[in-house]
């Protein structure tokens, strides 16, 4: 009887240590978060906050590895890599999903949103929320929107009116709407990865580019662009995405906690984006490396008139009801 008890206990110890060994071999779930911007940007800070929250609330269960500055993937590769399971989280700009869906082209329409509050209202409304599901047939899930802000135009010559862009080469993100926007003012758009922009500007292979204050500051574009026109002509925001296979494969309790951390990190990043846009613009002005041009209402109106016809070209691909809902969010 005693022998049997000893045998049973040894077996139990063996089973338990095997279970323990295989659990520790399996290790924590690793979430690789790849992005292209610097750490001192709304997206860079949001990613760091997400890592901190997850590792505090799910210690030993989930680890987050953040790869900024296109260290792991550029935006032209990251979604393919995600579908292959090589990265679990990314937040590409809304301009970079054209291979996967057409509806997100809405966010590139020039002069669509009057300010970031209007953007927020639209994104949180029924149309904006529906758009988060627009990638599902391709195996990707939109988990939320993250703000960067409104774009400005930088160039090696002053841009006051659309005619100043004539025959100038501008780097754009991989978006047909942005190509049409620059063609509408007689410029030559070139689709190039974010990681190449500084060198293209520095070597004068291109004349200008469009971006937000935080990207212009953190990537030092202002050091190689003598003029920045405060045009606020378009939006640069992000969709935080993951692969459906990875997300649905997470244990339900872990998935719920990770989503909570993500929502909090996004709220943090969004709050920061407004503050950083103001602060980085001030830093650029103070540097005196680049002159910031403020448009008169009449000059701005000329840009609106030249660029807005682009809307009509993309109306069928996007859906008029989405454009109408975005316009309504301005009120």
How far is the C-alpha of 307 from the C-alpha of 136, rounded, in Å?
31
Bridge partners of residue 139, in order along the sequence: none
- Give residues in contact with ligand LMR (CB under 6 A): 36-37, 93, 148, 173, 194, 211, 215, 236
Tell me how far, at minimum, the Cβ of 171 lies from ligand LMR, in Å: 8
Tell me how far, at minimum, the Cβ of 308 lies from ligand LMR, in Å: 22
How far is the C-alpha of 17 from the C-alpha of 313, rounded, in Å?
65
Q: For residue 78, give the H/E element and its range.
A: helix 78-83
How far is the C-alpha of 37 from the C-alpha of 135, rounded, in Å?
23
Tell me how far, at minimum, the Cβ of 90 lies from ligand LMR, in Å: 10
Tell me how far, at minimum, the Cβ of 150 lies from ligand LMR, in Å: 13
Question: Positive or negative CA dihedral for 246, 252, 257, 261?
Answer: positive
Tell me how far, at minimum, the Cβ of 134 lies from ligand LMR, in Å: 18
Residues sharing a CB contact under 8 Å with residue 274, sequence separation 6 or more, in sequence order: 116, 147, 149
Residue 255 three-state SS: helix
Residues sharing a CB contact under 8 Å with residue 287, sequence separation 6 or more, in sequence order: 222, 223
Tell me how far, at minimum, the Cβ of 42 lies from ligand LMR, in Å: 9
How far is the C-alpha of 199 from the C-alpha of 35, rounded, in Å?
19
Nearer to ligand LMR among residue 240 and residue 258 (C-beta): 240
Residue 8 three-state SS: helix
How far is the C-alpha of 121 from the C-alpha of 330, rounded, in Å?
8
Tell me how far, at minimum, the Cβ of 211 lies from ligand LMR, in Å: 5
* DSSP per-residue string spanning 152-205: EEEESS--SSGGGGTT-EEEE-S-HHHHHHHHTTT-EEEE--GGGHHHHHHTTS
Nearer to ligand LMR among residue 181 and residue 215 (C-beta): 215
């Amino acid at each position: 009887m005693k022998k049997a008890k000893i045998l049973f206990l040894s077996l139990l110890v063996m089973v338990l240590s095997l279970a323990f060994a295989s659990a520790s071999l399996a290790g924590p779930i690793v979430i690789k978060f790849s992005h292209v911007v610097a750490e001192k940007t709304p997206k860079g800070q949001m990613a760091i906050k997400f890592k901190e929250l997850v590792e505090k609330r799910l210690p030993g269960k989930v680890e987050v590895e953040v790869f900024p500055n296109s260290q792991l993937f550029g935006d032209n590769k990251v979604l393919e890599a995600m579908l292959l399971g090589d990265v679990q989280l990314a937040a590409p700009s809304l301009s970079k999903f054209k291979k996967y869906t057409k509806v997100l082209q809405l966010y590139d329409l020039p002069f669509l949103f009057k300010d970031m509050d209007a953007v927020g209202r639209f994104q949180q409304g029924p149309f904006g929320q529906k758009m988060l599901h627009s990638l599902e047939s391709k195996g990707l899930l939109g988990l939320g929107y993250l703000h960067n802000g409104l774009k400005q135009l930088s160039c090696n010559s002053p841009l006051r009116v659309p005619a100043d862009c004539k025959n100038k080469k501008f780097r754009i993100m991989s978006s047909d709407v942005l190509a049409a926007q620059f063609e509408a003012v007689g410029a030559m758009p070139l689709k190039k990865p974010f990681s190449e922009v500084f060198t293209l500007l520095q070597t004068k292979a291109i004349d200008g580019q469009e971006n937000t204050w935080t990207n212009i500051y953190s990537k030092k574009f202002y050091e190689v662009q003598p003029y920045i026109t405060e045009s606020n002509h378009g939006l640069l925001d992000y969709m935080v995405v993951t692969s459906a296979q990875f997300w649905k494969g997470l244990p339900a309790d872990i998935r719920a906690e990770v989503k909570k951390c993500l929502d909090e990190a996004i709220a943090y990043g969004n709050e920061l984006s407004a503050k950083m846009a103001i602060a980085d613009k001030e830093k650029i002005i103070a540097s005196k490396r680049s002159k910031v041009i403020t448009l008169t209402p009449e000059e701005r109106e000329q840009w609106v008139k030249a660029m807005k016809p682009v809307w009509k070209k993309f109306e069928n691909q996007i859906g008029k009801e989405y454009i109408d809902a975005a316009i309504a969010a301005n009120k």
